[in-house]
Amino acid sequence: MRVLVTGGAGFIGSHTVLALAAAGHDPVIADNFSNSKPSVLPRIEELAGRPVTLHEVDLTDTAATDALFAAGGFDAVIHFAGFKAVGESVAKPALYYRNNIDSTLSVLDAMVKHGVSRFVFSSSATVYGEKAPVPYREDWEFLEATNPYGQTKVMIERILTDVAAVNEGWKVALLRYFNPVGAHASGRIGEDPNGIPNNLMPFVSQVAVGRRDRLTVFGDDYPTSDGTGERDYIHVVDLAAGHVAALDHLDAMATPARAFNLGTGTGTSVLQIVRAFEAASGRPIPYDVGPRRAGDLPTSYADATRAREELGWTAKLSIEDMCADSWRWQSNNPEGFPS
Ligand code: UD1
């Protein structure tokens, strides 16, 4: 399939472009580099062993999006593009709603107009909110998020479900990611956050490489194995494979829209990550224990049954693989992608 990958220059997008190419699909990237750099493209092409087309386009621009589809000949869309910083979304909610919803709507309009009916969406486990029981199951109905970023995921899932229901032949997979980490085993592409990382793994790897002094562990009095927060970390290469599995499954899906958790089904604590990263890197990760971060849950992990049974997909890579690959990327590219 010829697949438009929006946000394909980003962390998960770039790994998914490689997985698509390796599976014999033809990925085409649309990105406006709002949180990525053009220098990722030659590295994607080097790893794919073939040229990959990238269109620099802002998807909130409906005319530009329409033109992209008019010339594209796409069979499917994988939609990663969107703002994703939780704290920034609290400070600038309208920016987040405008960008994430508008871009999705212009893609949907263009798909209807140009007869593209396969869609894979980059959703998040954040849609389970604070009340869903752990492990999270896709049939939990009361989706809600604790911040505007997460709310855009809830709203877009709703929009996609409604649009798929009334457009003949539409198939939409809503992929709810747990905590994507790691990097391509080559060390050539990986996560390159702007500024101070919000998320644990990039922060830890920046401490290991000497870009930051020490980690603050956000609370050690949770009701977990060692008191620190537990999350379902998933290797980005496994996650990318999950997108290919979802894409290949779309035509066989019994309902127009369906949600799938992409996680391992296992929780790992902050301190377990610290120790695993120290082992992988051979560097110490000094840390202090600070207060809990507002909005954090003690434990979050997936019930990964549905993806296994229906997509034939399971995560294969371990916490050790995630840390080793993150470290290879970080140590080979201490400042991330070249500007
Ligand atoms: C966060 C977002 C979530 C988003 C996801 C994307 C919040 C509250 N949630 O999830 O909406 O979908 O990223 O991957 O921001 N930790 C530390 N010190 C740090 C950073 C993190 O101790 O410097 C701890 C956290 O308290 C948590 C764990 O590490 O227990 C993982 O945190 P993080 O990587 O930010 O992911 P989430 O909070 O699960």
User: Which residue has its alpha carbon closest to ligand 1 atom 3?
Assistant: 126
pTM here is: 0.97
d(CA 51, CA 26): 10
Q: Is the CB of 218 under 6 A from ligand 1?
A: yes
Give CA–CA dist 212/196, Å, rounded. Answer: 9
What's the CA gap between 105 and 100, in Å, rounded?
A: 9
CATH placement of domain 2-179+234-262: 3.40.50.720
- Estimate to the nearest angstrom the gap between the alpha carbon of 320 and the chain centroid: 20
Where do the domains of the chain lie?
Answer: 2-179+234-262
The number of the ligand 1 atom at minimal distance from the alpha carbon of 295 is 8
149 is catalytic: yes
Strand partners, 318: none
123 Cβ closer than 6 Å to some ligand 1 atom? no
Q: How far is the CA of 215 from the centre of ligand 1 (A)?
A: 13
pLDDT tens-digit profile, the chain (339 residues): 999 999 999 999 999 999 999 999 999 999 999 999 999 999 999 999 999 999 999 999 999 999 999 999 999 999 999 999 999 999 999 999 999 999 999 999 999 999 999 999 999 999 999 999 999 999 999 999 999 999 999 999 999 999 999 999 999 999 999 999 999 999 999 999 988 999 999 999 999 999 999 999 999 999 999 999 999 999 999 999 999 999 999 999 999 999 999 999 999 999 999 999 999 999 999 999 999 998 899 999 999 999 999 999 999 999 999 999 999 999 999 999 999
Catalytic residue among 96, 128, 136, 149: 149
Residues 134 and 32: their CA atoms lie apart, in Å, by 36
Atom of ligand 1 nearest to the CA of 230: 30
Q: Give me the DSSP letters along 137-172.
A: -TT------SSHHHHHHHHHHHHHHHHHHHSTT-EE
Instruction: Report the C-alpha gap between 153 and 122 in whole angstroms.
Output: 8
CA 253 / ligand 1 centre spacing (Å): 32
Query: What residue owns the CA closest to ligand 1's atom 11?
Result: 126
199, 272, 288: residue to mutate for ligand 1 pocket, most atoms within 8 A of CB:
199
d(CA 180, CA 175): 12
